[in-house]
Amino acid sequence: MRALANNELPASVENQEIVKATMRQDYSLPEGFSGELYGKTGTCRGPANHAWFTGFLQRDEQRYVFAVNLLGETERSWDARSMIIEVLQALR
């Protein structure tokens, strides 16, 4: 995620910007949330049930890169997203 945020992946800058645009998380954020949130959620069901949210937050000159992985049959990717949003809110 850090490499993508810095346009350092082995792909054109244009393509990296397109990927970031699709990752923009500008919906269902709490009132007063500051910064631009980018991320990808996912869920895997099977022998190892888990859900995740990974990405980065750009807030002014600060960038926070994160990955949350929740284990369990009842975990959902939205739970991982909610958890990291709460943590990022506390970093003000």
Is it the case that residue 92 has pLDDT exceeding 80?
Answer: no
Confidence grade of residue 80 (pLDDT, cut at 50, 70, 90): very high
Q: What is the pLDDT of residue 3?
A: 97
CATH code for position 16: 3.40.710.10
In the chain, the number of structural domains is 1
Structural domain boundaries enclosing 85: 2-90
Contacts of 83 (CB under 8 A, 6+ apart): 53, 68, 70
Cβ atoms within 10 A of the Cβ of 72, count?
A: 10
Q: What is the pLDDT of residues 2-51, one digit of tens each?
A: 999 999 999 999 999 999 999 999 999 999 899 999 999 999 988 888 99
Instruction: Tell me the H-state helices in the chain.
Output: 2-5, 13-23, 77-90
Contacts of 65 (CB under 8 A, 6+ apart): 1, 2, 5, 55, 56
Can you tell me the mean pLDDT for 62-90?
Answer: 93
